[in-house]
Amino acid sequence: MTPLGSVAAPSDSRLYQLFVLLHVICVVGGFGAIVYRSFVLDLARRRGFAAAAGVLAVFGQVVQVGEFLLYGAGVFGIAAAATGGSGTSFSRPWVSAALAVFVVMVGVLHGLVGPAERRYKAALLELAQAPAMAPPGRPPQLA
């Protein structure tokens, strides 16, 4: 264990560096896809129901790629911690905290965000297929 105030040097192995690089790429792509989700859903809502159907079809493919990248971030992060030196061992508190945050994030993604998005997508597609309604007529009090 290193004394307080000093930082253990990370491993210089090529395998460790490869896992860290893949971990960072997956983190940026995965979290970018999560942020992109909110923009796409807002765009679909603003464009109207017919345009939303097309936007949401593409959106589903992007979301799948983002979820795979998030899983890759966890896998490559664990692999980097396993191949790293003493500064990245599983006994370090920040490694355990990062793993806990990852597990909570995946749980929220699958438990809350995913089902809400599926319901939203189903409602928008149902509204896109509904026939257009005529504008309301004059109220009987004003006729």
Per-block mean pLDDT, blocks of 10 residues, the chain (143 long): 49 85 94 80 69 69 85 92 78 86 89 82 72 67 60
Nearest to 74 by CA among 22, 110, 35: 22
Distance of alpha carbon 67 from alpha carbon 72, whole angstroms = 9
pLDDT at 19: 93
How far is C-alpha 127 from the chain's CA centre?
Answer: 26
pLDDT at 85: 75
pLDDT at 25: 96
pTM greater than 0.75: no
Collapsing DSSP to helix, strand or coil, 143 comes out as coil
pLDDT at 50: 59
pLDDT at 4: 47
CB 88 within 8 A of CB 81: yes
pLDDT at 1: 47
Distance of alpha carbon 83 from alpha carbon 62, whole angstroms = 31
Supply the DSSP string of 39-90, one letter for each residue.
HHHHHHHHH-HHHHHHHHHHHHHHHHHHHHHHHHHHHHHHHHHHHS-GGG-T
**140 backbone dihedrals φ, ψ, rounded to 5°:** -60, -25
CB 29 within 8 A of CB 66: yes
Nearest to 122 by CA among 47, 29, 52, 75: 52
Distance of alpha carbon 118 from alpha carbon 77, whole angstroms = 29
